[in-house]
Chain A
Amino acid sequence: MLTLKPTSDFYSRALLEYDRVFSGDGAPRPFADLRRRGRDAFEALGIPTKRDEEWKHTDIRKAFPSDVSFFDPVALRITLDDVASHSIPGLDGRTIVVVNGVFEPSLSELDGLGEIVITSLRASADAHPELMQAHFGRYAEVGENSFVALNSAFDLDGVFLYVPDGVIVEQPIRILHVIDADKEVIVQSRHLFVFGQNSQARVIETHHARTGSVNSFGNHVTEIVVGRDAVIDHYRVEDEGDNAAQVNTTQVYQQDRSVFSTTTFTFASGLVRNNVNVVVDGEHCESSLNGLYIARGDQHVDNRTLVDHAKPGCNSNELYKGIIYDRATGVFNGKVLVRRAAQQTNAYQQSQGVVLSDDADHYSKPELEIFADDVKCSHGSTTGEIDLDALFYCRTRGISFEDARALLLYAFAHDVVKRVKLEPLRDWLNARIDERLD
């Protein structure tokens, strides 16, 4: 199959490389059906271009690695010291480590799990066939989304997390993603979190890299099932460095009376595209989607959200804020879909961007599609510069221009940070935000 089209070229090389790395390594291939569908879909969809409405502001092709190599899972170099270097001071709870998309039990804290299940996704295929059968690949749409298709086509590994009915996980679960490579690499991870009825948990996913000047491309898919009356908080922190690109798809499925929140923080990174899709398929649910992105240099951060209200009596609340310096670009596109059955929906969305240089861009677009008649929906979207009167006021108190700007931006960011319910995480984020605003 020789062709000059970048998609097919990339894809055919990827196929060869994938088969080279994984054939004969003895790894189980439990997801053959999904893989087949993923490959068919990706061949049909290809890599999106800017002509595609959903990718209008983000040229993902230029972030694709020129040379495709999947990471060889045998060569683990990350140590427990490396893991410790990313610890969040004061945060109790276990850390689960994923290196180059692969769940690493040797680096993960897995003792005393009790009824909770944390395993590699591959292992769960044998250990928990009913749960896998019921949920795996059921939420993220392979047929419509290139990156879900690509992720499914080259299923590597990830974390399977299961919290049974009625179980309250007191301590937060941290999932630490590290990319470690000396040459250009593609990393895919695939997670499935299943939260049973009446369960409660907090999951913090953070993304880091030890790649230095080497390019990496991450394509991650997390499927999250939130059972009836469950209360789940999810956080994602992206901080991989300038040479990392990633597409991150968080696909959430909520059942009756569940309460779910997810907050995404994007710091150092090259190109990031976050898709957060929440399907509210239960009555009287609460959903909260938040994000803060601080983009500098040539960074490109694109957040896309979808809240799909399918059932009546639910509230959703979204707050995204972006701070854009230099030549960076921020994009927010938030869609709220209220289906005919979803009466008494309250959907509130707010997006704010601050642009700090003439070459910085921020595009923000809310989209409302409402098919029910008894709903309350509102959205606000603003992009602006820093408030000059506020800046002047600070300076008349002896505060330098830079410090004044940082104070005001810190305050701007704080609206999102204060939605983080874990104090040690909040402190850790604040310290990082401080650095990013300097």
Chain B
Amino acid sequence: MLTIRNLHASVEDHEILKGLSLEVKPGEVHAIMGPNGSGKSTLACVLAGKEDYEITEGTITFKGEDLTEMAPEERAREGLFLAFQYPVELPGVSTMQFLKTAVNSIRAHRGQGDMNVAEFLKLMREKADFVNLDHKLMQRSVNEGFSGGEKKRAEIFQMAMLDPQLAILDETDSGLDIDALRVVAAGVNKMRNSERSFVIITHYQRLLNFVVPDFVHILLDGRIVKSGGPELAFELEDKGYDWIKEENGEAIVA
């Protein structure tokens, strides 16, 4: 599904990803954990195609194609989805119009015609219920004035609408209360199948109690320094990142 080899990426001549490799196969759930500033969101944005980041070395292939050659919208149409750590508010852009354009763009790419209005409304309602999203939010502008938790839920709602093959969730669990966390996790679990893969970026073990990953990776200073099974997340929860930093020869400044 996704193969990243020796990825180096910089922003404004400042190298942030320093040789990152990752292999995600169909149906797998990978968790990426790491301290603040280690490059998790950078990885997510590079995968989604944000132009501010320059790839200086390495390769990314998605479903056998060179991902770096594709525009952000092409990546989305090919089935890549990013749930943003900080979803953008689009004042004045109606959620309906936004999602209709998105869904129909993806359908057109698959050679399907526009969805009719009734079908589309049905899909919206269905998927909103899927993440317990208040239907009133769909009448508003995209993310405008949404609370932090509502924004995260709305991202999962969008994910469900767009039906991706690879979903990257960037700290979708942060700022959620326990009920919202359960809803988001249930959403992911319901979508989980042998074809669809997830990369879940998180700081906390708690989401992983609900969505049990196949692999856990630790990202430190732009590199994956340790990979393991779900137990690695527990170890991190217990011991923090310091032991990993020590293992990797970083000086710990008290």
A→B interface (CB under 8 Å) = 389-390, 392-401, 403-404, 407-408, 410-412, 414-415
11 A-B pairs besides A397-B102, A397-B162 with CB distance below 8 A are A392-B72, A393-B87, A396-B49, A396-B73, A397-B73, A398-B76, A398-B77, A399-B98, A407-B93, A411-B91, A411-B141
Give the chain B neighbours of A404 by CB distance below 8 A.
73
A411 to B92, CA, bound (A): 4
Give the chain A neighbours of B50 by CB distance below 8 A.
392
Inter-chain contact B93/A411, CB cutoff 8 Å: yes
A415 to B93, CA, bound (A): 11
A276 to B179, CA, bound (A): 55
Q: Which of A395, A401, A407, A414 contacts B76 (CB 8 A)?
A: A395
Interface centre among B72, B75, B91 (most CB of A within 10 A): B72
Contact A407/B106 with A392-B50, A396-B76 known, Cβ cut-off 8 Å: no
Give the chain B neighbours of A396 by CB distance below 8 A.
48-49, 72-73, 75-76, 81-82, 84
A403 to B77, CA, bound (A): 14
Count B interface residues, CB 8 Å. 31
Inter-chain contact A389/B97, CB cutoff 8 Å: no
Report the minimal beta-carbon distance from B41 to chain A, rounded to whole angstroms.
13
Instruction: Determine the main DSSP class of B at the interface with A.
Output: helix
A248 to B51, CA, bound (A): 44
The reply on B245 being an interface residue by CB < 8 A is: no
Q: Which of A395, A397, A407, A411 contacts B158 (CB 8 A)?
A: A397
Q: List 30 A-B contacts (CB under 8 A).
A: A389-B88, A390-B88, A392-B51, A392-B72, A393-B88, A394-B90, A394-B102, A395-B49, A395-B71, A395-B72, A396-B81, A397-B73, A397-B76, A397-B158, A397-B162, A398-B76, A398-B106, A398-B109, A399-B102, A400-B105, A401-B71, A403-B105, A407-B90, A407-B97, A408-B90, A410-B92, A411-B91, A411-B92, A414-B92, A415-B92
Give the chain B neighbours of A397 by CB distance below 8 A.
73, 76, 98-99, 102, 105, 158, 162
Report the minimal beta-carbon distance from A395 to chain B, rounded to whole angstroms.
4
Inter-chain contact A398/B73, CB cutoff 8 Å: yes
A412 to B90, CA, bound (A): 10
Report the minimal beta-carbon distance from B168 to chain A, rounded to whole angstroms.
10
Give the chain A neighbours of B75 by CB distance below 8 A.
396
Report the minimal beta-carbon distance from A302 to chain B, rounded to whole angstroms.
26
Report the minimal beta-carbon distance from B85 to chain A, rounded to whole angstroms.
12
Inter-chain contact B71/A407, CB cutoff 8 Å: no
A407 to B99, CA, bound (A): 11
A250 to B244, CA, bound (A): 72
Give the chain B neighbours of A411 by CB distance below 8 A.
90-93, 141
Report the minimal beta-carbon distance from B91 to chain A, rounded to whole angstroms.
6
Inter-chain contact B73/A395, CB cutoff 8 Å: yes
A316 to B71, CA, bound (A): 46
A401 to B90, CA, bound (A): 15
Q: Which of A390, A403, A414 contacts B101 (CB 8 A)?
A: A403
B143 (CB) vs chain A CBs: closest residue: A393
Interface centre among A389, A392, A408, A415 (most CB of B within 10 A): A392
